[in-house]
Amino acid sequence: MKQFLAVASMLFSTAIWATDDAARARVDYALNCQGCHLARGEGFAGKVPRMTDFVGYYMHSEDGRAFLIQVPGVALSPLNDADTARLMNWMLTEFSAAQLPADYRPYTVDEVAALRRQPENDPNRRRAEVLAKISRQLR
């Protein structure tokens, strides 16, 4: 319990003082994503997809780009559209910069707002479809 309170206190303090986009995104990640995807985006094999050295591949197609915002954990998160765009852009460059396409463009608030209105109902099926298409493109 003491450990939990110490971590919670640190996150709260960081959230209050986080003024730059990266710091705010790190706090949002810790509070909204880290519980499943872990601290460095490594996920759990077979259960929670990893982001480390991988999530950037989704930016190689418009379907992949949309999918990342439409997965339930993102589309239905309590973050507003601006915070979600900032968080997703940070995750892509923090965890998977080497996998981003040369023409990578960050998410905009308007894009996130539109995509979140269409949450994915079957993310496992859709993920497989999107990754198969991207894999064919990258060959």
- Computed over every residue of the chain, the mean pLDDT equals 90
Q: Which two tokens stand for residue 17?
A: 């003082």
Q: What is the pTM of this model?
A: 0.83
**Token pair 């973050």 is at which residue?**
79
Reply yes or no on whether the pLDDT at 124 is more than 60: yes
Q: How confident is the model at residue 35 (pLDDT cuts 50, 70, 90)?
A: very high
Q: How confident is the model at residue 139 (pLDDT cuts 50, 70, 90)?
A: confident
The CATH class that applies to domain 2-138 reads mainly alpha
Reply yes or no on whether the pLDDT at 73 is more than 70: yes
- pLDDT at res. 5: 54
- pLDDT at res. 46: 86
Up-side HSE of residue 61: CA atoms within 13 Å toward CB?
16
pLDDT tens per residue, range 75-121: 999 999 999 999 999 999 999 999 999 999 999 999 999 999 999 99
Q: Domain coordinates of the chain in residue numbers? A: 2-138
* Closest by Cα among 31, 40, 41, 25 to 10: 31
